[in-house]
Structure 1
């Protein structure tokens, strides 16, 4: 069993007190049984999150920072015939214009219905198709685009931009010129849509832009039958709901982490990958010899120290 946990730690000043107060007894017991293996990542400004980098490596993918083809993989899973064309994920979002900068809101907070999403999608589709793009609707928050300019185009993960200054993340690659122009046209088109007027009447945030991510051609994937990715920390961390994040961590510790510990104690091969904003740290089981047992009894890694190092 290989357990991969995205959003296991935070760099947020508001979230650090909660992180430092976490009590994770099963992780505390597991860590002395593990040794550090591979570490991926650089800093919190990489386009691809450490969790994406770790997952992509396990899938056997290759690609530079910001060039992992998540869109093509998701489109294929949604039944879209992706072929060998490059694809990108267009996520309908709300851009919040603040006093100092523009930021992207958490998409799930839009509570965008399929009916609304379809209507907005159909409104903007002619803008893309008139420029030779192919657009396909996948779900309320997953619109797929295909165009030659998306091949090798580095883009920031949506998780990188939520709640942050967009100026740091807007694609400036020469191939992004067309998408930035289309984005301006889409914003003007969305402003005129009756669906957004209705949302305003209901005191709901309008859909006023999109975010492009996960560009590239679909790659073959390696078998990952033993891989378990637990996403329960994502929503509370991105929404900065620290009480919910701590509760989710405790549930994760009592569930999948406890299960991983049981697999280890049964003599099975196990791995754990913890992912923060800067790094993804993989740990694997150490030997069961006398020295290893002694080390487990008298020492070991601290969960807090490990999380803060991510």
Structure 2
């Protein structure tokens, strides 16, 4: 069977915006797919303060990382991310550290979307060099991964509960901050780094050109050792367009393609493929709903319409859509039989929670 699963974060409409957004969407192919699809039981609703968004939790579950999610923690992805960047983790407990910008409002602090930081490798290296002595002094090994991703070994922080950056983005930060026995140790180290960066030349230059300063580090993703052996965890024969921290799962797939088009995918369909379409994430996290509408309509033209056509022409046998928002994930399963339900009117109504 040629089966493609697609996960589309923030394609499931927030209840408060649903009626307004639906009026401006033009997605007849998606309407056909979701109105006629079979729907398995929904995932339980996520708590508003969950430390990982539903799409991230779902993907972590697919690769066997269930315990951390069920215990209210971020996915233990640090060592997989290290391996993806060519770093051998060795022993110990490793966390991801993302250079970040925290916006200080009148009554709370909020984490900006990391995708908008646009930090160059040279800038990140300079900030890393300024931060490293503080980690050395604290007895923590700090490693550079890439411009947006560093790693710290902190064995005694293993029980800290942390959050993915996307879960925390745009909210009052307090509920998403690292929490647990050694949270004070982390805060003290973090504060020392923040002070060192306050007047750093990198931030002075960024401020002068109107870019967000790098004034924080986001700690999450604690893991030790490596992910389980491949035969135990790989549910897919191919993965496509995995990005951000979710790209760390890619190397565990027999066929991992970082970029792909609908034409390329349907020309050589996998036995069981997973495709991530995450272009709705940035506008949703920033509440830019006009851009969200524009992006949604592009997904219709570039992906949903070609994939519906591939299903109709029997190029693929099954198409499963996983659509989410900040608290829900809903699944739609289509095959040749569901498409024959011609008496069901095409509608996007099922996008509403």
TM-score, reference length from structure 2:
0.78
Q: 2:317 pairs with 268, 285, 300, which one?
A: 268
Counterparts of 1:32 and 1:16 in 2: how far apart (Å)?
A: 17
Counterpart of 1:196?
203
Residues 93 and 104, structure 1, Cα contact 8 Å, conserved in 2: yes
Aligned length: 304
Q: 1:155 pairs with 162, 172, 191, which one?
A: 162
Asked whether 1:59 is paired with 2:63, we answer yes
Matches for 1:154-193 after TM superposition, within 5 Å = 154-193=161-200
Counterpart of 2:342?
297
Extract structure 1 runs of 4+ deviating beyond 4 A.
12-16
Counterparts of 2:11 and 2:125 in 1: how far apart (Å)?
A: 34
Deviation at 1:203, TM superposition (A): 2.9
Asked whether 1:80 is paired with 2:83, we answer no
Counterpart of 1:18?
21
Asked whether 1:114 is paired with 2:158, we answer no
Cα-to-partner distance string for 1:40-76 (whole Å, 9 max, x where unaligned): 3423321111011111122222223323123322221
Counterparts of 1:112 and 1:145 in 2: how far apart (Å)?
A: 19
Residues 28 and 346, structure 2, Cα contact 8 Å, conserved in 1: no
Asked whether 1:46 is paired with 2:53, we answer no
Counterparts of 1:213 and 1:16 in 2: how far apart (Å)?
A: 36
Change (3 A) 1:75 1:302: farther
Change (3 A) 1:149 1:38: farther
Counterparts of 2:91 and 2:8 in 1: how far apart (Å)?
A: 31
Q: 2:281 pairs with 225, 228, 234, which one?
A: 234
Deviation at 1:300, TM superposition (A): 6.4
Residues 100 and 112, structure 2, Cα contact 8 Å, conserved in 1: yes
TM-score, reference length from structure 1:
0.88
Residues 36 and 282, structure 1, Cα contact 8 Å, conserved in 2: yes
Asked whether 1:222 is paired with 2:234, we answer yes
Q: 1:105 pairs with 104, 112, 116, which one?
A: 112
Residues 10 and 277, structure 1, Cα contact 8 Å, conserved in 2: no
Counterparts of 2:346 and 2:180 in 1: how far apart (Å)?
A: 42
Counterparts of 1:15 and 1:240 in 2: how far apart (Å)?
A: 13
Q: For 1:36, what is the secondary structure of its paired residue?
A: coil
Asked whether 1:278 is paired with 2:327, we answer yes
Change (3 A) 1:25 1:287: closer
Counterpart of 1:306?
350
Counterparts of 2:285 and 2:101 in 1: how far apart (Å)?
A: 15
Deviation at 1:19, TM superposition (A): 4.8
Residues 86 and 216, structure 1, Cα contact 8 Å, conserved in 2: yes
Cα-to-partner distance string for 1:139-183 (whole Å, 9 max, x where unaligned): 221111222134343211111222211122122222433222211
Q: For 1:35, what is the secondary structure of its paired residue?
A: coil
